[in-house]
Amino acid sequence: MNILFITHYYDPDSGAAANRLTRLAQGLQQRGHAVTVLTTMPHYPKGVIPQGYRNRWTVIEDRDGVRVVQIWLWATTSPKIIWRLLSQISFMLALMLRGVFVQQPDVIFIENQPIFTGFAGWFISKIKRRRYVMNVSDYWPEYLYVSGTVSQESMVYRVFEWLANLTQRQAAHIAILWPGLRQGITSRIGNPPPITLIYNAVDHQQFDNADDGAFRAKYALGDKRLVTFLGVLGAHIDLPTMLTTARDLAAYDVTVLFVGTGTQKDALIAALEQPEYAHCRRIEWIDQDAVPGFWAASHITYWALHDNPLDKMRFQAKLYEALASGTPPVIAVEGLMSDFLAEADAGLTVPSGDAGALTAALVRLLEDEDAYTALSQRGRDYARTHFDRAQQIDAYEQVLTDIAHK
């Protein structure tokens, strides 16, 4: 098949989406399919386009057999949502123009988020007269009103909802990354196209061979046990609860390491300048090739989400990597992730907003070596059984093949 990928996120950008989609495109190419990717100039998550890509309309590269067409966008370092939306709209317009001239595909794969990229993909599918698979990886636009960004009655929300409904309703097939997304889609569009649940996957060999010593040496982290956070510090993260817990871990001879940027970055930086956070470190971001080393160096990973309906249905991709690396996760969250970790028996969860319970759960694993070892091993075993890369590619390949041949 000739498969056209349309996505805002792709290598060399960092983050869960870029990593996931890059692995999928490469996996399909390795199975003999011709894969072309329409994506942005590298810029995520820092919002800066590097030299060699800056001030260029299109850069086309061959990466591991995948033809990657990188298109101009107006990149911004601002965390303000208005500037981020303008950046996304700039890519949408450039993508719609450049996509007209791409080679005719047999089938189109569209990453739904951001919604403007999804709309551009829908437009290209109409121009090319080809059916598409919509890959839905997040609750959008529901996230806007649950996070308090806009109200459901606002014109902005109504536009986003219309775009999401249009692109999802007209898809030939929808792939979702976790179960709760099915309910959100169905509640909005009523009678959706066929929906297939396809979990994320990891490259287990990367984690088995990861070098924690090199990661520690590169960032001068010493030899204390690391309690870590990795991810985007968006509005979904309950940073005050995390900071309270980080402060209270000062007595336990650990280093608390934050790796991430996002809208709450400045608040984190300001907090870590206080003397009670002397045992904490922060790294702006790490490249994808450093991620296995990060997980190998991590003793426990932790984070906190808010108490709202959306975050109760959220399933964050870093759980896959944490379990595959044997790093027990401790999360202040209720809902889907809490239920999942209870079923897998591979991590601990506490109620959202309960910093005391979050601290106690972390301390338990720091002090009880047997409990820690058992969670770590069960996480590895579960990941090997359920998060297999070959199985993931099998599922996507089957969906794409069915659509291409209809």
Domain residue spans in the chain? 2-201+388-404, 204-386
Q: What are the phi and psi torsion angles at 205 (to 5°)?
A: -65, -35
Q: Beta partners for 271?
A: none
Segment holding 239, helix H or strand E: helix 239-248
Quote the CA–CA distance of 231 and 317 in Å, as a whole number. Answer: 10
Cis peptide bond prior to 45, omega within 30° of 0: yes
Sheet holding 132-136, edge to edge: 58-63, 66-71, 34-40, 2-6, 107-111, 132-136, 173-176, 195-197
Show the tokens assigned to 380: 């590895």
Look at residue 382 in the predicted model and tell me its pLDDT.
94
Measured between its terminal Cα atoms, the distance across the chain in Å is 13
**Shared fold status for 2-201+388-404 and 204-386:** yes
The listed CATH number (3.40.50.620, 3.40.1280.10, 3.40.50.2000, 2.40.30.60) that belongs to domain 204-386: 3.40.50.2000
Look at residue 389 in the predicted model and tell me its pLDDT.
87
Segment holding 363, helix H or strand E: helix 355-367
Longest dimension (CA), the chain: 64
Q: Which residues of 129-162 are buried (b: 16+ CB within 10 A; e: fewer)?
A: ebbbbbbbbbbbbbbbbbbeebeeeeeebeebbe
User: Which of these, 335, 330, 394, lies nearest to 178 by C-alpha position?
Assistant: 335
User: Which of these, 279, 236, 228, lies nearest to 257 by C-alpha position?
Assistant: 228
Quote the CA–CA distance of 239 and 233 in Å, as a whole number. Answer: 8
Number of neighbours of residue 338 by Cβ within 10 angstroms: 19
Quote the CA–CA distance of 23 and 198 in Å, as a whole number. Answer: 14
Look at residue 147 in the predicted model and tell me its pLDDT.
65
The answer to whether the CB of 258 falls within 8 A of the CB of 268 is: yes
pLDDT tens-digit series, residues 293-304: 999 999 999 999
For the chain, what is the radius of gyration of the CA atoms? 21
On the 0-12 / 13-18 / 19+ scale of CB atoms within 10 A, 263 is: middle
The answer to whether the CB of 348 falls within 8 A of the CB of 245 is: no
pLDDT tens-digit series, residues 163-199: 999 999 999 999 998 887 898 899 899 889 999 999 8
Task: Kindly state which CATH superfamily the domain 2-201+388-404 is placed in.
Answer: Glycogen Phosphorylase B; (3.40.50.2000)
The answer to whether the CB of 254 falls within 8 A of the CB of 280 is: no
pLDDT, averaged per 10 consecutive residues of the chain (406 residues), comes to: 96 85 95 97 90 93 96 89 89 95 96 93 97 91 74 85 95 91 89 92 85 93 97 92 98 96 92 97 90 96 92 85 96 93 95 98 98 97 90 95 90
Q: Beta partners for 3?
A: 35, 107
Look at residue 178 in the predicted model and tell me its pLDDT.
81
